[in-house]
């Protein structure tokens, strides 16, 4: 693509975002790096509509990194209810303690330093700096990768090439708006299953127009267990355990097993349930005292 085409595409996406973007999302109304970090970790594995109210409630309960650091882990896990992947509740709590203990409560403005914190990998660290500081760096997730591959009409472009393209397309000084725009564009126009090609502001340049031929991804079956004839992923059981312990002070393996699995049988499922509990204990989410499990 020529330099002019790249600039035209940047302008087309930014203009579209100005008109149709989701500017009202609560984490887009702040540049407070603590709040941005919380929103990014929440958004890692939970979709936007679910995160909105949870984010507002979490920030109302823990408005500063100091207040989050001083909270009981159990309270943080309680506030994570409904977001799933409860390990992240523990991560944000430890991240806050890290920031208070090692950085005097001030988040580092450096990607590598951010990555030493709990729950923050390369994508999240770049996103935090982009949305909090408008840092001139590019980031990409599956959605942004999909846009790049479609615009270039090649579903097999290598990851390295996609990264290079993301850097090339970044309009300097507009990183925050650019990435917000790409994310909205991916979820409203260039969607995974039903791209709106005829209404797309990029159709003039997109080599996939009018119909992208994406590689069909075969979804791998998640590790799980049969329940009443159905396969239930282990992550669902993990969520059910934490949910049970949010409202029950403690439980034995069998009490928890009966609460999380409709056809629980101590003889057949007891060992499996114990393994799931031990894994949660190893991750620091649960503790066990006198054969009773608790948050």
Residues that bind ligand SF4 (CB under 6 A): 147, 150-151, 189-190, 195-197, 200, 202-203, 206, 208-209, 212
Instruction: Identify which of residues 20 and 209 has a Cβ nearer to ligand SF4 in the complex.
Output: 209
Active site residue 18: no
| Least distance between ligand SF4 and beta carbon 149 (Å) | 9
Cis before residue 210, ω within 30 degrees of 0? yes
Instruction: Identify which of residues 113 and 188 has a Cβ nearer to ligand SF4 in the complex.
Output: 188
Q: How far apart are CA 4 and CA 291, in angstroms?
A: 67
| Least distance between ligand SF4 and beta carbon 188 (Å) | 10
Instruction: Compute and round to an integer the Cα radius of gyration of the chain.
Output: 22
CA dihedral 281, 284, 287, 288 (to 10 degrees): 30
Instruction: Given the residues 18, 40, 53, 283, select the one marked as catalytic.
Output: 40
| Least distance between ligand SF4 and beta carbon 209 (Å) | 4
**Contact predicate 187/48, CB 8 Å:** yes
Instruction: Identify which of residues 184 and 269 has a Cβ nearer to ligand SF4 in the complex.
Output: 184
**In this structure, what token pair is assigned to residue 215?**
């590689």
**Contact predicate 6/169, CB 8 Å:** yes
177: closest CA among 1, 5, 31? 31
| Least distance between ligand SF4 and beta carbon 190 (Å) | 3
Instruction: Identify which of residues 179 and 225 has a Cβ nearer to ligand SF4 in the complex.
Output: 179
Q: How far apart are CA 276 and CA 263, in angstroms?
A: 17
277: closest CA among 287, 267, 264? 287
The catalytic residue positions are 40
């Amino acid at each position: 693509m020529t330099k002019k085409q790249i600039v035209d595409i940047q302008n087309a996406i930014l203009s579209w975002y100005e008109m149709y973007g989701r500017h009202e999302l609560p984490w887009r109304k702040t540049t407070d790096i603590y709040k941005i970090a919380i929103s990014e970790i929440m958004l890692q594995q939970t979709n936007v509509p679910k995160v909105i109210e949870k984010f507002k409630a979490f920030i109302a309960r823990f408005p500063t990194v100091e207040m989050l650091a001083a909270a009981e882990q159990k309270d943080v896990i309680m506030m994570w209810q409904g977001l799933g992947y409860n390990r992240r509740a523990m991560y944000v709590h430890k991240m806050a303690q890290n920031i208070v203990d090692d950085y005097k409560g001030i988040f580092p403005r450096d990607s590598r330093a951010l990555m030493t914190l709990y729950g923050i990998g390369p994508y999240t660290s770049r996103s935090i700096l982009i949305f909090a500081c408008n840092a001139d760096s590019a980031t990409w997730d599956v959605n942004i990768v999909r846009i790049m591959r479609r615009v270039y009409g090649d579903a097999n472009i290598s990851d390295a090439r996609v990264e290079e393209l993301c850097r090339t397309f970044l309009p300097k000084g507009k990183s925050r708006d650019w990435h917000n725009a790409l994310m909205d564009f991916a979820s409203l126009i260039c969607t995974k299953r039903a791209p709106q090609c005829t209404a797309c502001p990029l159709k003039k340049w997109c080599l996939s127009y009018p119909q992208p031929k994406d590689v069909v991804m075969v979804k791998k079956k998640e590790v799980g267990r049969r329940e009443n004839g159905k396969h239930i992923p282990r992550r669902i059981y993990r969520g059910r355990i934490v949910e049970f312990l949010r409202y029950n002070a403690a439980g034995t393996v069998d009490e928890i097993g009966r609460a999380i699995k409709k056809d629980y049988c101590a003889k057949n499922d007891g060992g499996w349930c114990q393994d799931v509990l031990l894994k949660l204990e190893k991750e620091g989410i649960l503790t066990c005292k006198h054969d009773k499990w608790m948050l």
